[in-house]
Amino acid sequence: MVRLFAPIPEPAPAEVALTGDRRHYVVHVLRLGVGDALEVFDGKGRSFDGQVTGVDAEAVRVRLGTMRQAPARRAVSVLQGLPKGDKLEWVLQKGTELGAAAFLPVDTVRSVVKLEPRRAQERTARWTKIVEEAARQCRRDDVPTVDVPRTLTEAAKTLAPGTVVLVLDEEESAVPLGEAFRAAGAGTPVALVVGPEGGLAREEVEALKALGARPVTLGSRILRTETAALAALAVMMHLDGELG
């Protein structure tokens, strides 16, 4: 069935009006008309059977039917050092497919990309659309959040209390990711820190350790920054019984 992301108030109304880009998508891309069925998800775990009841120049009206609530899952946040090119977009798209609950792009010592505030806001808006579309395609009912880029330490301090922070660090080989993830305990929120090209500086790792973070390794292979993030997410999703 056709799926569409749209914010839905709480409690859900009997009908919603889709305007702007969403109206355009329904009318001109999906080419739906009155009577056509679709599924609407709100990005917070709820999905609804829907039926188009009206189309005009301003909006598409959709009647909401049966609601389904997605089961609660462990929250995994990704603190990704800003990489070059479109690598972050790849991490956002595939990381959404692999269950990440939040993405926090971070400016690190070795990040080549530096974003001015206005540019950072523009990029964040684009990144948010990428995760919304990825959630729609992979049939997630929740949509990961995407934070505005900030420094690594600032981002780490915004994490919810009780979050276990795991730092991918090729210079630390004592604790495998899987071992540290299991030790966190079932359901405990986890944050994964991934450096940019060139990895994290030693002072950054030490600063995170001072905040209680634990350096971990994926093994002997040196992975690119975008590969490391996705490989780690796949490992965690597998250990939580949601993949493989």
Extents of the domains making up the chain: 3-69, 76-239
> If phi over 0 gives left and psi between -120 and 50 gives alpha, with beta otherwise, what is residue 219?
left
Instruction: Compute the Cα dihedral for 91, 97, 99, 100 and give only its sign.
Output: positive
Could you list the pLDDT tens digit for every one of the 244 residues in the chain? 899 999 999 999 999 999 999 999 999 999 999 999 999 999 999 999 999 999 999 999 999 999 999 998 999 999 999 999 899 999 999 999 999 999 999 999 999 888 888 999 999 999 999 999 999 999 999 999 999 999 999 999 999 999 999 999 877 667 899 999 999 999 999 999 999 998 999 999 999 999 999 999 998 888 999 999 999 999 999 999 999 8
Cα–Cα distance between 172 and 224 in angstroms, integer? 16
Among residues 142, 237, 236, 156, the alpha carbon closest in space to that of 204 is found at: 156
Among residues 101, 103, 107, the alpha carbon closest in space to that of 91 is found at: 103
pLDDT at residue 207, as a whole number: 93
Q: What is the secondary structure of 85-113 as a DSSP string?
A: TTHHHHHHHHHHHTT--EEEEEE-TT---
Q: For tokens 């603190």, name the residue.
A: 79
How many Cβ atoms sit within 10 Å of the Cβ of residue 226? Answer: 22
Task: Supply the DSSP symbol for 28.
Answer: I
Name the fold adopted by 76-239.
Alpha/beta knot (3.40.1280)
pLDDT at residue 231, as a whole number: 97
CATH for 3-69, among 3.30.470.10, 3.20.20.70, 3.90.105.10, 2.40.240.20? 2.40.240.20
Q: Dihedrals φ, ψ of 82, to 5°?
A: -60, 115
pLDDT at residue 151, as a whole number: 94
pLDDT at residue 172, as a whole number: 64
pLDDT at residue 205, as a whole number: 93
